[in-house]
Amino acid sequence: MKAIHCATYGSAENLKLIDVAKPTPKENEVLIKVHYSAVNDYDWSMVRGIPGLYRLLFGLFKPKRPIPGMELSGTVESIGEGVTNFNVGDPVYGDISYHGFGSFAEYISISEKAIVRKPDNLSFTDAAALSHAANLAWQGLVDVGQIEMGMKVLINGAGGGVGTLGLFIAKTYDAEVTGVDTGEKLKTMEEIGFDHILDYKKTDFTKSKEKYDLILDAKMTRPPKSYIRVLSPNGKYVSIGGEIKNLLQLLFARKVRKKPVYMVGLKANKDLDKIHALYEKGLLKPVVDGPYPLAKTPWAIQHFGEGKHVGKVIISVME
């Protein structure tokens, strides 16, 4: 089978499309014929080995798991002994990161717990775009942020996967939503319905007089104190990740200084039933950048890493 292979840390351009052995499902595993996958921060960090601290997870000198990719949509090809939740031919999707990686390949064998059944009204393309980012957005806004009706919400990094899906979730709470990003993303943000749009290259929202009840940060390139300045008296700041030095400052501000700053501890696939319901009602629709063919994955990861993408970057694995 064909797969994207990362032999050593470095530029995404070093990734190769090669032939590897097709896996066989072990006990409690399913073999999935991958239809689509998606590019995430994990892939950008993994192929470069940056930040260096992540090499404790990826491998000190080269990747322990040379095939990147952490979400997918596809069809069950075969099942291993003990599998009870799926049958051959079932359409499935999910964020597989709790159980392994390797979705930039034509087939993957993974625990049946890593995936959920794909509803018939959800396309394979949209499914690959939803599993990770929609859960981050939901858990950031609803579970951690505890969004309420009519809140003033700001989403930083609003033109990516989490930001665009976060808008749709926030709008189900009749929120007034401000989006912060730059470049080509601004046009799409206007088209999908952000109430206010700020270009961070022109406007620093952390120095504004505006106050927000809830900030969802998909980037976190600043220390927490910058965001605290623009929170309303009972406001909350929620990060989904960012630069390590800022995350450490967030932990200090939360635990020691008791500031209203939080970070999402993602629970993979937990809220997909809620996402299904919004999708079915037409209240949520992923913005798809692509799909791009599997052979173009190195370019797509670089495109993502440079922040030039809009919404979710999707890879079409099928010929």
Radius of gyration of the chain (CA): 19
**pLDDT score recorded for residue 51:** 76
The string of pLDDT tens digits covering residues 149-204 is 999 999 999 999 999 999 999 999 999 999 999 999 999 999 999 999 999 999 99
Residues 220 and 186 in one domain: yes
Q: Encoding tokens for residue 102?
A: 């390797």
The string of pLDDT tens digits covering residues 110-162 is 999 999 999 999 999 999 999 999 999 999 999 999 999 999 999 999 999 99
Q: How far is CA 242 from the centre of its chain?
A: 13
Residues 48 and 162 in one domain: no
- The answer to whether position 273 is within a domain reads no
CATH label of the domain that carries residue 215: 3.40.50.720
Residues 197 and 309 in one domain: no
Look up the domain containing 165 and give its range. 133-263
The predicted model gives 19-48 an average pLDDT of 96
The string of pLDDT tens digits covering residues 223-281 is 888 899 999 999 999 998 776 777 777 777 777 778 888 989 999 999 999 999 999 99
Rounded CA gap, 102 and 234, in Å?
42
Q: What angle do CA 92, 6, 129 make, to 5 degrees?
A: 30
CATH label of the domain that carries residue 296: 3.90.180.10
